[in-house]
Amino acid sequence: MAQSPRDIRRRIKSVQNTAQITKAMEMVAAAKLRRVQEAVQLSKPYLEKMQEMLADIAHSARFVKHPLLAVRPVRRTGYLVITSDRGLAGAYNANVIRRALQEFRGKDKASYTIFAVGRKGRDFFSRHGYPLSGEATGLPDSPTYPSISSLAEQIVSAYGAEEFDELYMVYNEFINAVTQRTVAVKVLPLTDLSKADTARKVNFLYEPDEVTLLTALLPKYAETLVYQAVLDAKASEHGARMTAMGNASDAAGEMIDSLTLALNRARQAAITTQIAEVVGGAEALK
């Protein structure tokens, strides 16, 4: 059934209002993305310098035994799955959850545990009976270290207590504003330190001794890796939301054009009908 011009005008107005909302959300996501990108760039030099220093210590103090460096038989695996608290970000959350489910495929639920960041992942895993050991929700749009430190400390402590024997992080890696790549990265044990280039670029002087520093800083390094992944995932979230809202605004524009064409056709049909009625009435009076 053909719509009346009044109904079409109402639909155009409704779509225009929706387009204003999606355009505003796109601009907000772009502003948030810039702030998170700045935080990512500021944190990388700290992480790189800490890795360089710890690799130097680990190389010069190979006799040191630390739980975060030890490679042990894998009886149980930990997964840190990073999603968002809100939707309207395209396939952002679906991609992370799908990748996590691929990691779980074929495994008994007793052989792994999940640490969830974000309500979307937490709610999904809780609803479907997956083993959850920890969660962090309600993170700010530009996360700070204290906002994630509690969960990071819990993960590192649980690994040190041998509650699981390896840790993977599943999240969307930020490539650029329109491209995010879902990855599953192994974090614990910290085998990357032993593989790092140990050629000394700087002669470090340690106070107190190297063993004490290694014992104190390794947990902080592992926690910083978690924080860096959360920042990366947050940047990906804002980029995905910006892209999704941009696509929604474009779709709304196309719908408005289509409805405007339908309105013009309806008006033309109404005018043609009125002319035909007038002509018909005039012919009847002759």
- Domains, the chain: 27-243 (3.40.1380.10)
d(CA 279, CA 262): 26
C-alpha angle 224-130-82 in degrees, rounded to nearest 5: 30
Q: Report which of residues 283 and 200 the model is more confident about.
A: 283
Cis preceding-peptide flag for 208 (omega within 30 of 0): yes
Taking only the tens place, the pLDDT of each residue in 42-84 is 888 888 878 777 777 766 655 567 778 778 888 989 999 999 9
3-state secondary structure of 42: helix
pLDDT for the residue numbered 70: 78
Taking only the tens place, the pLDDT of each residue in 92-102 is 999 999 999 99
pLDDT at 125 > cutoff 90? yes
pLDDT for the residue numbered 194: 55
pLDDT for the residue numbered 99: 94
Taking only the tens place, the pLDDT of each residue in 175-209 is 888 888 999 998 888 877 655 554 555 666 767 77
pLDDT for the residue numbered 64: 64
